[in-house]
Amino acid sequence: AVCAAAVARFVLRQTDNLSRQTCTTVYKTREVCSHTNGQMRSPRKEELAQRQTEERKDSAEYLCSCLGNTSVNGATKEAFHESLKSGVVLCQFVNFLQPGTVTKFKDSKMAFVQMENICAYIEGCRALGVPEPELFITADLFEARNLSSVVKNIMALKRMFGQKKHKPNPKPTAFGADVDGPKACRKCGKTVYAVELLRVLEADWHKGCFRCTGCNLSLQPGKELVNGNELFCNRCYDKRFVEHKPQTVSPVGKWAQSPDNTYKVSNTGGACSSPLSAPPEPFTPQIAYHKQTVTAPEKGDALRACIASLFNTPDVRDVPNFIDDPRGYLPALQEWLQQSKHAFLKVPLHEGKLHFPLQLAEAGGVTYCILAGPSPRGSHKHCVVGKIKG
């Protein structure tokens, strides 16, 4: 009986303790529900939220102490997001820690400009040596996906650089102004944003303005040619500014040369068909002739060429481009050299169109001097052939 009574008292005591614990748990649960509008929240989540709030306020205070302004509000997530969303404050902050880290950023309400500012800040942090786990992506700040990672990044910079105080600038710049001043395109003079910026020749360009002045084709950086403020491609630059020297022609046969440099010429002129000399006089060239693509359709040019050839003062401007013509006088001349040994022959029907010596040709063991030039009418080519004296 005594044992049974002791067991009963023990069971009653344990039951009473269990009831008290249950009541205490229910009371605490009701208290938590009353403070969270009926939503269950564990003590760990409350502690985490409270710690994140404190870190957000600390990071906002650190930014204000560095920049010397109170524009950063860390009281709520929404206010903190709006303060840093444009990326301008962060770029100014990293430049305060290390001047010149971010060189280009703009205060703008356009979304793509704000995202580029945030990207520039992240690259600046990476250049300063911030570890990758303490960086964040653009969407974490711009879309407020993960503001705690932004706070973590700011606190990492605080640990790296310590407590740096803001020093007032006697001549402060406007809020959000470009660090290096406004960037203008060298060609059009308009503002260049980072998304369309091209840095070439120590100047800023729009990608659409970096074109050749001659052909208006886009240029690749490093392959442009510059004359003053104008850009050119290789082809257009050569056309405008490169002086092309005449190239020495290697015609069929040899250049007009002989031991005594003496040649026969016809006795009629090309411009007026009047006798040039009677009887034929020897002709002695002194220079080698070059290929030119200059025609002489006027009679005055043709007459000048005739006179220049007779008086041993040839003018290279009158040399036409007739060497490469396969259908011109060369085939006819070769056929004549094989069949005839006459002293002179005019090809085609124009007589006496003598201008200047060109080359030698061999036929039947006899060397002939070919004298050729453009027709005064500018429509036909011709040649005159004569034996070498001696």
Q: In the prediction, which pLDDT does 42 show?
A: 62
Q: Is the pTM of this model over 0.85?
A: no
Q: Is the pLDDT of residue 360 over 60?
A: no
Q: What is the mean pLDDT of residues 189-197?
A: 73
Q: What band does 212 get if pLDDT is binned at 50, 70 and 90?
A: confident
Instruction: Give the residue-averaged pLDDT of 188-197.
Output: 74
The per-residue pLDDT for 191 is 79
* pLDDT tens by residue, 47-103: 888 888 888 888 888 888 888 766 787 778 888 888 888 888 889 888 888 888 888
pLDDT of residue 347: 38
Q: How confident is the model over 296-338, as pLDDT tens digits?
A: 343 445 544 544 444 444 444 433 433 444 444 445 445 444 4
Q: Which two tokens stand for residue 390?
A: 């001696």
Residue 119 banded pLDDT, cuts 50, 70, 90: very high
More confident residue, 156 or 23: 156
Across 67-71, 140-144, 250-254, the highest mean pLDDT is recorded for 140-144
* Ordered structural domains, the chain, with CATH: 43-161 (1.10.418.10), 194-241 (2.10.110.10), 254-387 (no CATH)
Q: Side chain identity at 348, as an amino acid letter?
A: P
Q: Cβ neighbours of residue 25 under 8 Å, at least 6 residues apart?
A: none
